[in-house]
Amino acid sequence: MHKKLELPARDFRAYLFDCDGTIVDSMPLHYIAWKKALAEWNCPFEEELFYAWGGRPVMDIISSLNQMHGLSMPVQSVAKRKESLYHEQLHELKAIPEVVEHIEAQHGRIPFAVVSGSRRNSVIGSLSALNLLDKFETLVCAEDYKNGKPAPDAFLIAAERLGVVPGDCLVFEDTVMGIEAATAAGMASVRVPQPSERN
């Protein structure tokens, strides 16, 4: 039985959700996709670093790995390759029950947004695989902003699209970077435990 997620005790006018590792238990599948895509360029990517960089846009990750390892992987095509390897595994994807519970409970009462460091294709693929796509009024993905988390930009865009002031938004996030971004946006947040913490 999963643990219930404790929310701050007040009424919020919108919920903003990170996608990977928050709504969908996709981080292990993303890691497999990264390993395969990067192996084609003999680029290492330690699992610990992958989780530490959770929430960073795909392009940023590839650029940083290029710098770290003195490589010149083509950022766009590696990103596309990684995305397609992720899509091949969508049939294995599962939702994170303690978050979906809150989506089901509040859907139709307040608006929801997804705020992700992944590209739109990847987010739509994940949410569609679990029949959750139609629950969100808007998706803010890597293509929609310049500064990724921990910058507040993506969360502020979501609040603006939903027409809700940042102080009335509650953010669901699984990474430290995501929580920092929510705090920087002036929003309350709740941290979703990572798979390793759920045992």
Enzyme catalytic residues: 18
Please list, residue by residue across 65-89, b when 16 or more beta carbons sit within 10 angstroms of its beta carbon and e when fewer do: bbeeeeeebebeebbebbbebbbeb
Residue with tokens 């509650």: 170
Does residue 171 contact residue 190 with C-beta atoms inside 8 Å? yes
Counting other chains too, the contacts that 175-180 makes at CB distance below 8 Å and 24 or more residues apart are 175/18, 175/21, 175/54, 175/55, 175/149, 177/54, 177/55, 177/56, 177/149, 177/150, 178/18, 178/22, 178/54, 178/55, 178/149, 178/150, 180/149, 180/150
Nearest to 122 by CA among 15, 14, 34: 34
How far is residue 98's CA from residue 94's CA, in Å, rounded to a whole number? 12
Are 104 and 6 contacting, i.e. CB atoms less than 8 angstroms apart? no
